[in-house]
Amino acid sequence: MGIKPYEKDKPFVYDLNWDEWQSWVKENGESAFRAGQIFDWLYIKRVFSFDEMSNLPKALRDKLKDQFEFVTLSEITKYQSQDGTVKFLFELEDKNAIETVVMKHNYGNSICVTTQVGCRVGCTFCASTLGGLKRDLRPGEIVAQVVKAQKLLDETGERISSIVIMGIGEPFENYEATMNFLRVMIHPKGLNIGQRHITVSTSGIVPNIYKFADENLQVNLAISIHAPNDALRSKLMPVNRRFPFVDLIEACKYYIAKTGRRITFEYALMGEVNDQPEHAEELALVLKDMPLSHVNLIPVNFVAERDFKRTPRDDIFTFQRILEKGKINATIRREQGSDIAAACGQLRAKHMESSK
């Protein structure tokens, strides 16, 4: 799935999960406790060089230097919204730019991470897809976004307590890297983010919804549904032509049956496109056999290159009421960072434009 990740001679230190570090120390003739020390330096002390790993013997540090690299994630710009949302535009080693967003809530800080440079899924309302897919991120490049943001929050004694994998890219097209990222994030000896505080969002890559259901994780799943039927969804999301609506709904039912967990359905309201009462009625019917499901209504952010109107406030509430009447739990997403181009891909799109 997806295209090739960034080819490098050496892996990144953040590419390896706990079990992989255990194997690495063993294969390199080191004591097993060294894996714990390395993990501690990376995720608890959060250092960005091998030289700082002072309780490791020099020979081991040299070996690490020889075999691994730290991710270079330099800040191109940082925008701070009035509501506390901070959006970072980071530059990777190969000069590609990615976005990471840190949001402040009354329950803590959450981070939205990017999994690919660009996206090929082509959702018509999304700026991330402009320019197509450049490459997949390596697991370590996804991990680095969290470590870097946490390091900045360390200055004020704050912690990232939840993660949404909803930034640029389709995580289920970079499936293995996303799973390794999750394994690193949830490990109790590392950042130890609660699985139920992590959400991975897919546009509907059906085979990997089945795979994810079988992973035996407690991580939340969100599906970007955005339409109540096959025809409209195909117009808005070309991915629906690869994986038709009916197959997507089947996969969702499998996931719920297998995991006993609910799914959040993301529904971006686009004025006069998918936001009419009949759309809400149809959606309620589609989801009625999934009693645990929940719809998150998202008033669409304006994207200059796209031509969607905003749904009037009253119509958003009408949509919500119809769903609730159909016994579907629905909430309206609080807008965050709307003053700083918060829709995914907008900063990167601007940056690409200005670097031409």
Could you list the residues known to form a binding site, using ranges. Answer: 119, 123, 126, 169-170, 201, 224-226, 301
Binding to ligand SF4 by CB under 6 A, coded x per residue (else -) over 101-120, reads ------------------x-
Q: Which is nearer to ligand SF4, 61 or 351 (CB)?
A: 351
Our finding on whether 274 is near ligand SF4 (CB under 6 A) is no
Q: Is 169 in the site for ligand SF4 (CB under 6 A)?
A: yes
Query: Is residue 168 a contact residue for ligand SF4 (CB under 6 A)?
Result: yes
Q: Give the amino acid at 76.
A: I
303 binds ligand SF4 (CB under 6 A): no
Smallest distance, ligand SF4 to C-beta of residue 303, A? 10
* Binding site residue list for [4Fe-4S] cluster: 119, 123, 126
Residue 121 sits in the site that holds ligand SF4 (CB under 6 A): yes
Answer for which of 100, 129, 240, 264 binds ligand SF4 (CB under 6 A) is 129
Cα–Cα nearest to 85, from 333, 301, 300, 338? 338
Give the shortest CB-39-to-ligand SF4 separation in angstroms: 31
128 or 301: CB nearest ligand SF4: 128
First to last CA, the chain: 29
| Main-chain dihedrals φ then ψ at residue 118, nearest 5 degrees | 80, -170
170 belongs to the binding site for ligand SF4 (CB under 6 A): yes
Answer for which of 17, 85, 128, 274 binds ligand SF4 (CB under 6 A) is: 128
Strands 329-332 and 108-112: unpaired
Annotate 250-316 with three-state secondary structure.
HHHHHHHHHHCCCEEEEEEECCCCCCCHHHHHHHHHHHCCCCCCEEEEEECCCCCCCCCCCCCHHHH
For the purposes of burial, counting CB atoms within 10 Å of the CB of 186, is it exposed (0-12), middle (13-18) or buried (19 or more)?
buried
Residue 104: CB partners within 8 Å, gap ≥ 6? 83, 84, 85
Min separation Cβ 66 and ligand SF4, Å: 37
Measured CA to CA, the distance from residue 268 to residue 126 in angstroms comes to: 10
Asked if 340 interacts with ligand SF4 (CB under 6 A), we say no
* Catalytic annotation, pick one of 69, 99, 173, 266: 99
Bridge partners (DSSP) listed for residue 11: none
Q: Is 344 a catalytic residue?
A: yes
Enzyme catalytic residues: 99, 344
The residues binding ligand SF4 (CB under 6 A) are 119, 121-123, 126, 128-129, 168-170, 203, 224, 344
